Amino acid sequence: MTLSMLLGEPRVISVGAAVLGEALDQQAVPWTPVDWRPPLPGTSDALARVLADPRRERANALAVGRLLSARPQLIGVRRARDVLGLEPGTFFHAGPPITWERASGPMRGALIGAMLFEGLASSPEEAERRLASGAGITLDSCHHHRTVGPMAGVVSPSMWMLEVTDAEHGGTAYCSLNEGLGKVLRYGAYGIEVVERLRWMGEVLGPVLQATLSRTGPLDLRSLIAQALQMGDELHNRNRAATSLLVRELAPAIVDAAPERAAEVLRFVNGNDHFFLNAGMAAAKVSADAARNVPGSSLVVAMARNGTEFGIQVSGLGDRWFTGPAGVPDGLYLGAYGPEDANPDIGDSTITETSGLGGFAMAAAPAIVRFVGGDVADAVAATTSMYEITLAEHPAYQIPGLGFRGTPVGIDVTLVARTGILPVVNTGIAGRVAGTGQVGAGLVSPPVEAFTAALEALVLA
Amino acid sequence: MSDLVEVRAGVYHDSVSLMRVSQALAAHAGVEVAVVAMATELNLDLARDLGFAVPAATGGDLLVAIRASGDARLAEASAELDRQLTARAPAGGAGARDAPPRTTRSASRAWDATVALVSVPGEHAFVEAADAVEAGLSVMIFSDNVPVEQEILLKDRARDKGVLVMGPDCGTAVIGGAGLGFANVLRPGRVGVVAASGTGAQQVTSLLDQAGVGVSHLLGVGGRDLSAQVGGRSTTQALLALDEDPATELIVLVSKPPAPEVAVAVQELSLSKPVVRALLGPGQDDLTTAVEKVLGALGVPVPEWPSWPAGRPPVSGGPLRGLYSGGTLCTEAALLAGTGEFTDFGDDEYTRGRAHPMIDPALRLEALAAVETGVILLDVVLGHGSDPDPSASLAPAVEKACERGVAVVVALVGTEGDPQGLRSQAARLNEAGAAVFTSNAAAARHARLLIGAS
């Protein structure tokens, strides 16, 4: 057999004792060091077992290959009860499953608002009483129903959902329509203006967008996201470019579809820099779902928070959740709000990071580096460090400032345990008290135990 | 005297770097003793033996124990420690970037390598080596304490990928003139070496070099490779690779005697080039004799192996104490001496959380100082990776031993091209009173003579 190592000049990767690298320097042998450190405490045995799994290498290649090759397309906007089979009294929510008893302020606030919106209660007090009693109420995780929702992520039967399909693998995913910033349901506000806005979205926005898309045909979200990254969005805390591109694509058809309503619809969409976020989340969800259920794969296919816990799901581990307490984000606050007003981390929007956007693409969004605490160098360092824990670089989602390098995609549980580097998550911050709304935005770290628990489960899988 | 004892949880530095930090602190004014090491049982015991009150700790923690001549001195030393630890930037290297890669996987993606050198603690070595094999790289595993099941798995994966796993516990390799791990500076040449023994291979190639014969490649395979369990997986790969290698004319296989079924399997490989076996064990040639057979096969005359006899009249009788850093050299010497107490300081039990004795002489010097009578036989292995000047610490200890009436015999393994210099090291040790041999077998026979064994 021919050993390629013997053919040319040796080039060495040295991991471990520095003195062995110095010996290479003395001989002028080209080499590169690994800045190796021990793995997370207590994980070395599980790591060796999971890396010994003969399925792992190919399983991960298959799973991340599916995530990268997904071609999400926005095909319609439809009512939740029609596409998700939601019955009155059933609500989906962000993150791993949770009960009313354990739900945080903004999650409770959003559920109260959804009760009022659905006409299941005539006052917040009544809504709260009925939710607490549980009679006729069913709560379930959005992720269990091909759905994601930002912040509280509450979905009720009368809400209109963006419908995104994967033209490559055939999956479908849903996300609600974005309400804008400030006092909105997803941040736990449930005042009259919140419910009225939801009514308008159900009566006007949803039907107009559905009529629009039936004229335009499917909208290629993969291409739109790729363009937005090159225009300074990271698609989680900055969606200004993507929203603008979306409006450019849809505006003529909106006018054609509903000439009398076009102005108010366009005014609403234009007034909300985050309008695209929910479409991007559905695109990320349908892509990540394509990578699910590959036996032996250690790829993370969902990261989501319910305001109490942060949970992850892993391709080789089915629909099981691995959770830890949700952390309080570190960031900038609106007006007089401060950290003491902040709720722990909440929302399914971490599906953007799961698919290589958001915090992972921070280097693409220099405009918001101050917003998430730091300078441009920090943003580059954040993205660069994510290559250490991901399996691939995205072929379409590229970062101009990094020489058009693809964004880091496909978090590998074993790489998180080995390096101790946790996913960088950009996020909005909800007020702790139900009914408050948004209080800020910033960065948050997932709990390490979610990853170590998943690693342990992979040993047995 | 004031003591500072601290356990820093989860702070990792490699053992060689920590040894240097300890040395720098010990040289600091007013510092009597400093132990800065990973908190393995061995190092905790070491600190306890020095009289420090050591708290509970695990091998993943950093142990700091400093004794100085007063609180002010101790505070200075502590500040110096922090400077030393923070100044310890990752080594340079041609491929260095702003943020160096954190795993072998990541390094292999960022940089076009041909081989990986893994020397992390044994329990973590499999994971890094698996990265290398997955990336299609051959890998040398310098680390010891790697479970045999992991070794077998890696070697099977390597065979599927057409790469070679050298190790675990592989001390030396020379790939196209580049030495990995502990490696002597060898002239390029026509002999390819496959070695299941690091220091054994260093002895063989050093003697070849002294005879003017060069080496094409030296491929280590790890001490267990020819066991029944591992079945010669890497030996087979390495022999086939050298058989294909245009620079290699003759292959030398250096090993302990293989398991019988493995010996048969290796024998049955159809190779086009001659293979000379240097097998270490009872009834086998010693390594020097094996080298002489290689020279015979090549038609090269056998030189007189350099040696430097002790200047003073040899003692006779007394116990023989063997203090070795190389496992194979230790075994060979014990076999030839036929008597005496031999310790291999390179063995796993002495290297948990400590640098190899070829780098860190402390444990061996301690043992040397404790010998009161008779004859001491020890090895000094030169080359890249080893102590840059072993005689600097060893010669004074040899001199003191000689003053106590103890005879010292040194097997000096190395070449003139080695950074330490063969002749200057020999001269220094010889001046201190030691008899010095470049053949370990000759050294062992001389020691046997000194104790009066027939």
Token match 């005014």: residue? Answer: A267
Nearest chain A residue to B20 by CA distance is A19
Chain A closest-CA separation from residue B282 CA (Å) = 34
Question: Which residues of B fall within a CB distance of 8 Å from A57?
Answer: 134
- The three-point CA angle A383-A386-A388 to 5° equals 135
d(CA B42, CA B362): 13
Per-residue pLDDT of B53-95, as tens digits, reads: 988 888 778 899 999 998 988 988 888 888 887 765 444 343 3
Give pLDDT, residue B93: 40
Pairwise CA distance, residues A22 & B106, whole Å: 21
Q: Is A248 exposed, middle or buried (0-12, 13-18, 19+ CB in 10 A)?
A: exposed
Q: In sequence order, what are the beta bridge partners of B165?
A: B139
Task: Give the contacts of B135 (CB within 8 A, at least 6 positions apart).
Answer: B104, B105, B108, B109
- What pLDDT, in 10s, does the model give residues A334-356? 888 989 999 999 999 999 999 99
| B108–A13 CB contact, under 8 Å | yes
Least confidently predicted of B43-47, B134-138, B273-277, B288-292? B43-47
Closest CB to A10 among B110, B164, B178: B178
Q: CB distance B102–A13 less than 8 Å? A: no
Separation of first and last alpha carbons in chain B: 53
Residue B97: pLDDT band by 50, 70, 90 thresholds?
very low
* Nearest Cα residue in chain A from B96: A32
Mutate to test the interface with B, among A25, A29, A31 (most CBs of B within 10 A): A31
Contacts of A21 in chain B (CB under 8 A): 91, 93
pLDDT, mean of residues B408-428: 96
Please name the residues in contact with B20: beta carbons below 8 A apart, sequence gap of 6 or more.
none
List C-alpha distances in Å: B23 to A132, A236, A241, B36. 66, 51, 58, 9
User: CA A364, CA A428: separation in Å to the nearest integer?
Assistant: 18
| Interface contact A23-B179, CB threshold 8 A | yes
Confidence band of A370 (pLDDT split at 50, 70, 90): confident
Pairing of strands A12-15, A31-34: parallel
Segment A5-33, tens digit of pLDDT: 999 899 999 999 988 999 999 999 999 99
Cβ–Cβ contact A48 with B under 8 A: yes
Q: How far out from the chain centre does Cα B52 lie?
A: 30
Q: Domains in chain B, please, with CATH?
A: 2-87 (3.30.70), 104-298 (3.40.50.261), 307-450 (3.40.50.261)
- Calculate what percentage of chain B has a pLDDT beyond 90: 68
For residues B40-67, b (16+ Cβ closer than 10 Å) or e, as one string? bebbbebbeeeebebeebebbbbbbbbb
Nearest CA in chain B to A387: B106
In this prediction the pTM is: 0.88
Best mutation target, B16, B40, B85, B103, to test chain A (most A CBs within 10 A): B103
Listed by number, the residues of chain A in 400-439 with a beta carbon closer than 8 Å to a beta carbon of chain B are 415, 418-419, 421
Determine phi and psi for A49, rounding to 5 degrees: -70, -45
pLDDT band at B47 (very low <50, low <70, confident <90, very high): confident
Q: What does the mean pLDDT of chain A come to?
A: 95
Angstroms from A35 CA to nearest CA on chain B: 5
pLDDT of residue B90: 46
The region, left, alpha or beta by phi > 0 then psi within -120 to 50, assigned to residue B358 is: alpha
**Residue B96, pLDDT score:** 35
Q: What percent of chain B has pLDDT over 70?
A: 96
Q: What is the pLDDT of residues B372-410, one digit of tens each?
A: 999 999 999 999 989 999 999 999 999 999 999 999 999
CB contacts of A3 in chain B (<8 Å) are 138, 162-164, 237, 241, 244-245
- Say whether B119 and A30 touch across the interface (CB within 8 A): no
By DSSP bridging, strand A309-314 and strand A322-325 are: antiparallel
CATH numbers and ranges of domains, chain A: 1-36 (no CATH), 58-67+292-460 (3.90.1700.10), 72-281 (3.90.1710.10)
Length of chain B (residues): 454
CA distance B182 to chain A (A): 8
Residue B102 and residue A35 in contact, taking contact as beta carbons nearer than 8 Å: yes
Q: Given A31, A387, A421, which is nearest B95 (Cβ)? A: A31
CB contact under 8 A, B240 and A32: no
**pLDDT at A70 exceeding the cut of 90:** yes
Chain B residues in contact with A409 by the CB 8 A cut-off are none
Looking at residue B397, its pLDDT comes to 95
Which residue among A6, A35, A45 places its CB closest to the CB of B175?
A6
Task: Tell me if B93 and A31 make a contact (CB, 8 A cut-off).
Answer: yes
Question: Does residue A115 contact residue A52 with C-beta atoms inside 8 Å?
Answer: no
Instruction: Please answer yes or no on whether B100 and A35 come within 8 Å at the CB atom.
Output: yes
pLDDT for A372 equals 62
Chain A residues lying within 8 Å of B388, measured CB to CB: none
Q: For the segment A202-235, what is each residue's pLDDT rounded down to a tens digit?
A: 999 999 999 999 999 999 999 999 999 999 999 9
Tokens of B34: 């400093």
Q: What values do phi and psi take at A117, rounded to 5?
A: -60, -35
Q: Which of A16, A37, A415 lies nearest to residue B118, judging by beta carbons?
A: A16
Residue of A2, A5, A22, A418 to mutate when probing chain B, most B C-beta within 10 A = A5
Among chain B residues, the shortest Cα distance to A61 is held by B134
A33 touches chain B (CB under 8 A): yes
Q: Does A44 touch chain B (CB under 8 A)?
A: yes
B114: nearest CB among A5, A22, A45: A5
Instruction: Please give the ipTM for the structure prediction.
Output: 0.93
Q: Which residues from B are below 8 Å from A45, CB to CB?
A: 123
Question: Rounded distance, CA B366 to CA B353, Å?
Answer: 18
Does the beta carbon of A6 lie under 8 angstroms from any beta carbon of chain B? yes
Q: Which residues contact A244 (CB under 8 A, 6 or more apart)?
A: none
Report d(CA A117, CA B218) in Å as an integer. Answer: 77
Using 50, 70 and 90 to split pLDDT, how confident is the model at A134? very high
**Average pLDDT, whole number, for chain B?**
91
CA distance, residue B407 to nearest chain A CA (Å): 33
B163/A5 touch (CB, cutoff 8 Å), yes or no? yes
Identify any residues that bridge with A92 across adjacent strands, giving them in sequence order: A140, A155
- Percent of chain A clearing pLDDT 70 (strictly above): 99
pLDDT score of B454: 52
pLDDT at B453: 65
Q: Are A4 and B163 a contacting pair at CB < 8 A? A: yes
Q: How confident is the model at residue B314 (pLDDT cuts 50, 70, 90)?
A: low
